[in-house]
Amino acid sequence: MKCLICESYSWHYICKHCQKEFLTPHLYSRKLSNGVQVFSFYNYEEIKHLLFTKHTDLGFYIYKLLAQNSFQLFAKEFNSPLEYISLGIDDVPKNGYSHTAILNHALRYASNITPLFHILRANSNISYSGKSKIFRETNPRNFTIETFKGDNIILVDDIITTGTTLNEAIKLLEEKGKKVSFCLTLSDVSFQHNFI
């Protein structure tokens, strides 16, 4: 097959050279309006062509590769005395897999993070892709939460744009007595973030 980036022949969808050259993560940080910190591994513009494979057969392999190059590395280096539960935002399988579940699953490499699945689900199927902040705020995801043990939460999503989705999920978790310690996203659309 050919590498999706450089088009050279490779055993992988993205060759090892391009993984090193273009998929080396850089930690970005920004705070949501409620003060919760969000850490992202890529600037959206750098990987958007790869994110467009979401909900396709190819997307399963691309998201696994992105998760290995970011979330998995983060998990292996993560050091904290606290025990955490990680939850993917709306990890409903579409086309055979859930992209947020793939990202969340990569956090199992941390000794003190336990990924849970099928906990935080959206009741609204409205797509936020390309929509304004006003549209997002007036069309909430209407999350429901299954009962689970653990109070220190890490929220996981693939993209942060306005932060509306994460804010809504955090508010509901706090109403259930949970504390969202921080959020992890694969990419950040904002150009206002700080590079760590």
pLDDT digits (tens, 9 = 90+) for 44-78: 999 999 999 988 889 999 999 999 999 999 999 99
Other C-beta atoms closer than 10 Å to the C-beta of 68 total 15
Average of pLDDT values for 172-176?
95
Q: Are 22 and 5 in contact (CB under 8 A)?
A: yes
CATH of domain 25-195: 3.40.50
What's the rounded Cα separation, in Å, for the pair 74 and 110?
8
Whole-model pTM: value is 0.89
More confident residue, 138 or 6: 6
Residue of 196, 195, 183 whose CA lies nearest to 34: 183
Tokens of 58: 């190819």
Element (H, E) at 188: strand 179-188
Quick: pLDDT tens for 76-95. 999 999 999 999 999 988 87
Q: What percent of the chain has pLDDT over 70?
A: 93
Average of pLDDT values for 8-27?
90
Quick: pLDDT tens for 111-160. 999 999 999 998 877 776 666 667 777 777 889 999 999 999 999 999 99
More confident residue, 22 or 35: 35
Tokens of 20: 């090193």
Q: Give the model's confidence band at 196: pLDDT under 50 very low, under 70 low, under 90 confident, else very high.
A: low
pLDDT score at 172: 95
| Mean of the per-residue pLDDT values of the chain | 90
